[in-house]
Amino acid sequence: MLTNIPKGTKDLMQDESYKWQFLENKFAEFCALYGFKEIRTPIFEHTELFQRGIGDTTDVVQKEMYTFEDHGHRSITLKPEGTAGAVRAFLEHKIYAETQPTKLFYKTPCFRYEKPQSGRLRQFHQFGVEVFGASNMIADAEVISLAYKFIKYLGIEDLELHINSIGCPECRAKYRLALQEFLRPKFDELCPTCQSRFDRNPMRILDCKSEICQDLVKGAPVMIDYLCDDCKEAFEDLQADLKALDIDFTIDTGIVRGLDYYTKTAFEFVTNSIGAQGTVCGGGRYDNLVEELGGPSVPGVGWGMGIERLLMVMEANGIEIPKPSTSDVFVATMGENAKHYGLKLVSQLRDNGIKADLDTLQRNFKGQFKYSDRIGAKYTVVIGDNELETKLFQVKDMDNSTQYEVKEEELIQHLVEKVNA
């Protein structure tokens, strides 16, 4: 029990973490290219923020939140997604009073009590971006472009962009009636969850994972046929923007956000290569969310990308992330004086940007060479009493096993040149 990890969570061990560091750095670089700045908000918030920000009728709020009472009797929830916290911070720091738009990015753990399976964890991680203060579809095209370019840069070819419009509260009201009309005769066949969605949030029925429900919604009216003029024009603008960017997309009327504060654009990047949980990135526009959370009327658009699923697609595509070398130079020492000399030498090498290491287990020379090989050092320097006396050091090139002498005063410069060659 003590050494068992909780269900639905994963350790990121030392031989894998370079992949995450690579993705995190690249993501930050892409965000910088697009003018986004990073924010870091707490991993827990007041429960009410998510109830309002995600919506009472969603699965996330109804069934999946990690909620607890703290010692001060406040209801606290571990963040199940990134947008609500970003909006809270945007309001709390009155960022809306500054020059707009506000372009933010983050990486964050997320917590959802779901049934663990491939691509579905209880603690997972997201990259996310949000743009506040821009109502024009150019902003939607920009955030989609950021995700698209990042995915392409990573070498992933089989992620498809699906887009939809979910309208605004006005046109959606008409659509809801039409959808209810269509589903009413099938009501008894819907799964219990969808039956409970029927009155409160029928659009989420389109998103149900149950096969029976997916069958029942076939042929249902689609939101884009009900868009008001403004929403229709916006959807056309978005498509024109994406075409201008040469970004291929498919219109997928099944993508819903299904809450009143989400508006217009909804999109996903999906793949068939990682099984049932094929949505790697999902996002959309939320023109009424900031207001719903107690702020002024400020539009927003953004997305969240699951890092674990991103890595799964990369693996499925055979894309390897370059593994950094762990060690450039290993200093093998024998004897007390040599040990001190070696300690100083590795320190000087590190000052020169060389990854250097030495023996800390008092192994003999043979053991130290073996260890040097094991950690992938490119060069091994040998220091014993003899070398200290002659001021000539043995350097072994670990790739081709050749060994040669270098003078003490040239040693550091020599190794710097060799390693950086």
Please report, for residues 120, 249, 266, 284, 309, the alpha-carbon distance to residue 159 in angstroms, rounded to integers and kept in the order given: 18, 10, 16, 17, 11
Q: Could you say which of 79, 309, 355, 396 contacts ligand ATP (CB under 6 A)?
A: 309
Q: Could you say which of 44, 50, 124, 369 contacts ligand ATP (CB under 6 A)?
A: 124
Nearer to ligand ATP, 262 or 341 (CB): 262
Q: Could you say which of 165, 263, 279, 333 contacts ligand ATP (CB under 6 A)?
A: 279
Closest CA to 54 of 299, 301, 286: 286
Smallest distance from ligand ATP to CB 124, Å: 3
- 114 lies in the site for ligand ATP, by CB under 6 A: yes
Structure tokens at 137: 């579809």
Any residues with CB less than 8 A from the CB of 137 and at least 6 apart, and which? 234, 237, 238, 241, 265
- 127 lies in the site for ligand ATP, by CB under 6 A: no
What pairs with residue 397 in β-bridges? 379, 402
Q: Which stretch binds ligand ATP (CB under 6 A): 117-125, 210-218, 342-350, 363-371?
A: 117-125
Nearer to ligand ATP, 278 or 342 (CB): 278
Q: Which stretch binds ligand ATP (CB under 6 A): 259-267, 277-285, 328-336, 337-345?
A: 277-285
Q: Which stretch binds ligand ATP (CB under 6 A): 89-97, 229-237, 259-267, 302-310?
A: 302-310
The secondary structure of 256-277 as a DSSP string is ---STT-EEEEEEEE-STT-S-
Peptide bond before 169: cis, by omega within 30 degrees of 0? no
Please report, for residues 176, 267, 276, 278, 294, the alpha-carbon distance to residue 161 in angstroms, rounded to integers and kept in the order given: 25, 7, 17, 12, 33
Smallest distance from ligand ATP to CB 286, Å: 12
- 306 lies in the site for ligand ATP, by CB under 6 A: yes
**Residue of closest CB approach to ligand ATP:** 306
User: Binding-site residue total for ligand ATP (CB under 6 A)?
Assistant: 17
Cβ 411 vs Cβ 397: under 8 Å: no
Cβ 130 vs Cβ 86: under 8 Å: yes
User: Which residues sit at the interface with ligand ATP, rule CB under 6 A?
Assistant: 81, 112, 114, 119-121, 124, 126, 277, 279-282, 304, 306, 308-309
